[in-house]
């Protein structure tokens, strides 16, 4: 697959340096900020409506697409080589488990359930990063990157959750998403590989718009009283994940290749 803008013609050491420098800049930009503490309004959402006895129904039910994406991605990852299949399946398993974690959280929001919500999300970002690293830099890197990134994801949650009150520092947790969102597109642009860069590139704006909807939860709900920003966040995030599912090709389970 051709990489973007011909950047793959740069020396490999230069390309690796660009990725490392970008990652370092993001880490520095986050760490120079004062500690980020969970706001009290984290557990309050605009749409409080129940349906058929399900509290906060749309915020709960809008998590169902993650299960479908996770199941489909798990199946289609079967065609990948073993090392990449492992990390891709961890990613799609985690995406599927977002349905469970986020639904449990929205049924009765609180610190303990938010931990359950965030756990599969951090694992999904870690596994997706390992998948791209393995595809672009060599499949032998994928399991190693997965172990290191999942360990960092767990540590970030431990730092935030602290003694159980969920009032710890969120800066490490922010990095579990900020680093992949910045570095995955760079890896796809700078190094050749089999993953379709266009599909991953499409996932990024879906997810960024989803995060904007999360910020404007109340305002979006007030527009028509039909759907809240947080519900839209779930649906758009699931759409972003769907972009990452390897495509089916006749006669094979999946083939995550882009046209040359």
Torsion, CA 260, CA 2, CA 239, CA 103, rounded to 10:
120
Residue 143 falls inside a structural domain: yes
Range of the domain at 200: 4-242
DSSP 103: H
Measure the CA–CA gap between 131 and 60, rounded to whole angstroms.
29
Residue 121: which CATH number? 1.20.1070
Torsion, CA 194, CA 121, CA 19, CA 190, rounded to 10:
20
Of 206, 226, 94, 66, nearest in space to 150 by CA: 94
Measure the CA–CA gap between 5 and 70, rounded to whole angstroms.
32
- The pLDDT value recorded for residue 87 is 98
Q: For each of the chain's 260 residues, which pLDDT tens digit applies? A: 445 556 677 899 999 999 999 999 999 999 999 999 987 778 999 999 999 999 999 999 999 999 999 999 999 999 999 999 999 999 999 999 999 999 999 999 999 999 999 999 999 999 999 999 999 999 999 999 999 999 999 999 999 998 667 788 999 999 999 999 999 999 999 999 999 888 888 999 999 999 999 999 999 999 989 999 999 999 999 999 999 998 754 344 444 444 32
Residue 78 falls inside a structural domain: yes
- The pLDDT value recorded for residue 248 is 59
- The pLDDT value recorded for residue 245 is 95
- The pLDDT value recorded for residue 39 is 78
Among all chains, which residue has been given the structure tokens 């970002």?
Answer: 125
- The pLDDT value recorded for residue 5 is 56
The token duo for 214 is 């999360």
Residue 172 falls inside a structural domain: yes
Burial class (CB in 10 A: 0-12, 13-18, 19+), 155: middle
Count of structural domains within the chain = 1
Residue 253 falls inside a structural domain: no
């Amino acid at each position: 697959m051709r990489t973007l803008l011909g950047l793959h013609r740069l020396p490999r050491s230069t390309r690796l340096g660009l990725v490392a420098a970008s990652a370092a800049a993001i880490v520095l930009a986050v760490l120079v900020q004062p500690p980020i503490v969970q706001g009290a309004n984290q557990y309050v959402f605009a749409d409080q409506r129940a349906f058929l006895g399900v509290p906060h129904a749309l915020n709960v039910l809008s998590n169902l697409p993650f299960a479908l994406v996770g199941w489909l991605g798990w199946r289609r990852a079967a065609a990948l080589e073993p090392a990449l299949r492992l990390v891709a399946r961890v990613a799609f398993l985690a995406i599927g488990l977002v349905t469970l974690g986020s639904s449990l959280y929205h049924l009765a929001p609180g610190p303990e359930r938010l931990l359950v919500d965030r756990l599969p999300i951090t694992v999904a970002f870690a596994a997706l990063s390992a998948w791209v690293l393995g595809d672009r830099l060599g499949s032998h890197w994928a399991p190693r990157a997965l172990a290191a990134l999942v360990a960092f994801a767990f540590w970030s949650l431990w730092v935030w959750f602290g003694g159980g009150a969920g009032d710890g520092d969120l800066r490490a947790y922010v990095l579990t998403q900020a680093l992949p969102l910045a570095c995955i597109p760079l890896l796809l642009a700078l190094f050749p590989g089999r993953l379709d860069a266009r599909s991953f590139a499409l996932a990024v704006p879906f997810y960024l718009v989803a995060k904007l909807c999360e910020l404007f939860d109340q305002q979006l709900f007030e527009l028509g009283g039909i759907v809240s920003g947080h519900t839209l966040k779930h649906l758009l995030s699931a759409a972003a994940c769907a972009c990452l599912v390897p495509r089916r090709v006749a006669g094979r389970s999946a083939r995550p290749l882009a046209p040359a």
